[in-house]
């Protein structure tokens, strides 16, 4: 599936924007994935698509969704369906937000700016990350609802400075990622000796084009070396309390799987949690988010909103997440695949496909709106040994 480079190590520079695919030709997110794989250099594809360790959790995320089945309702008037709802008190056209994905200029020169415009056009929030390759001010200039994702940095003051910068730039929420004391062992990047090209940098961190992410690393992955320098392995609940006290923006914690952690977050005034194993990129063997979701949703019992990510590949997955207790989902890799395949139009196509498929799934499940979907019953089929292995 991955495009092979003709000799030499995998490149980290896609060159000119591909633009080789007509967005209307992409019929589902599998099509988008294949289109991105066909145009991206092998090293960049592995950086975006890969997971940690032997990638068991990466595979399990998708397999877990495929094990969930919905008990559709019938004899209901579904001639008019409403996919709209609210997330963190703001209206959205569907219960979806775009997750933070680092260094999007790796796949397209406009990077996060193009992705944010696509999200604005689709009527869903876009999350710009600490490791964005475009400054937050340029992302918020696109308009729409923008959330800012924070990592807790070794320089505590810089973390709080970034939070203030995001607030000043017009972001509507802060999302603290809490499952990355350091980067998981992403073996594809290590084997590729992956480094960032000089034109791609972490726009919110020091170092520019001469950071550790741009220099060969003895351990293989320059990006992992850079994050080890920058991220604090001592992020604790006291950091959450400090951030909660420092901002009036809605606060999201991303990377929780245990119900007791979600309950504690809600008690500290967190507005939403994201049930997540970081897309299979941190602990290999972590529980899939969709499997952890019901217990988390039951435990918080409405005290904060509950989102889920990891393996969302279609509108039916959004329906399943709602039925299992989520307020919405985050989608990460697919918009980046769309950006790689066809630029801003490709990222927008991904979100349009999700909206179309979700509306279709609502009606076929006998639901007129999001509230109906959250009342559906589900059944989880047993796992099949060896199923759901990751593909590349």
pLDDT at 13: 54
Q: Which of 108, 226, 278, 391 is catalytic?
A: 278
Question: What is the distance between the alpha carbons of residues 307 and 254, in angstroms, rounded to a whole number?
Answer: 9
Tokens of 79: 């001639």
Does residue 184 contact residue 52 with C-beta atoms inside 8 Å? yes
* Interacting residues of 384 by C-beta distance below 8 A, sequence separation 6+: none
Q: By the 8 A CB rule, do 278 and 180 touch? A: yes
The label of the residue with tokens 């066809």 reads 342
Instruction: Dump pLDDT digits (tens) for 156-172.
Output: 999 999 999 999 999 99
Dihedral sign, Cα of residue 184, residue 189, residue 195, residue 201: negative
Closest CA to 194 of 58, 55, 42: 42
Q: Are 319 and 68 in contact (CB under 8 A)?
A: no
Note the pLDDT of residue 372: 98
In this prediction the pTM is 0.93
Burial call 138-167: b when 16+ CB within 10 Å, e when fewer: bbbebebbbbbbbbbbeeeebbbebbebbb
Examine the residue annotation and report whether 278 is marked as an active-site residue of this protein: yes
The pLDDT tens digits for 18-73 are 456 899 999 999 999 999 999 999 999 999 999 999 999 999 999 999 999 999 99
């Amino acid at each position: 599936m991955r495009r092979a480079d003709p000799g030499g190590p995998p490149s980290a520079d896609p060159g000119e924007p591909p633009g080789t695919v007509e967005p209307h030709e992409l019929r589902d997110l599998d099509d988008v994935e294949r289109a991105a794989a066909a145009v991206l250099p092998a090293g960049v594809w592995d950086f975006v698509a890969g997971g940690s360790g032997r990638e068991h959790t990466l595979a399990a995320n998708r397999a877990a969704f495929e094990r969930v089945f919905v008990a559709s309702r019938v004899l209901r008037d579904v001639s008019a369906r409403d996919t709209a709802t609210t997330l963190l008190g703001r209206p959205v056209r569907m219960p979806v937000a775009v997750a933070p994905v680092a260094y999007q200029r790796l796949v397209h020169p406009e990077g996060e700016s193009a992705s944010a415009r696509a999200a604005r056009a689709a009527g869903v929030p876009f999350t710009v990350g600490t490791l964005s390759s475009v400054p937050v001010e340029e992302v918020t200039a696109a308009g729409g609802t923008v959330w800012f994702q924070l990592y807790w940095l070794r320089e505590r003051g810089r973390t709080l400075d970034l939070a203030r910068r995001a607030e000043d730039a017009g972001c509507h929420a802060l999302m603290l990622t809490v499952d990355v004391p350091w980067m998981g062992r992403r073996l594809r990047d290590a084997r590729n000796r992956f480094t960032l090209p000089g034109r791609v940098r972490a726009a919110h961190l020091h170092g520019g084009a001469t950071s550790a992410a741009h220099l060969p690393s003895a351990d293989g992955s320059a990006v992992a070396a850079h994050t080890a320098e920058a991220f604090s392995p001592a992020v604790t609940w006291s950091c959450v309390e400090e951030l909660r006290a420092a901002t009036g923006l809605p606060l999201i914690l991303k990377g929780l799987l245990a119900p007791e952690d979600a309950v504690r977050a809600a008690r500290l005034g967190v507005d939403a949690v994201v049930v997540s194993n970081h897309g299979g990129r941190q602990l290999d063997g972590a529980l899939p988010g969709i499997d952890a979701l019901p217990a988390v949703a039951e435990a918080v019992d409405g005290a904060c909103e509950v989102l889920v990510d990891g393996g969302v590949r279609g509108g039916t997955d959004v329906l399943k997440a709602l039925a299992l207790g989520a307020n919405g989902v985050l989608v990460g890799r697919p918009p980046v695949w769309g950006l790689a395949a066809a630029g801003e139009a490709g990222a927008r196509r991904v979100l349009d496909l999700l909206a179309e498929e979700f509306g279709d799934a609502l009606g076929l499940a006998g639901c007129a709106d999001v509230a109906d979907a959250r009342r559906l019953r589900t059944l989880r089929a047993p796992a099949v040994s060896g199923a759901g292995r990751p593909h590349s």
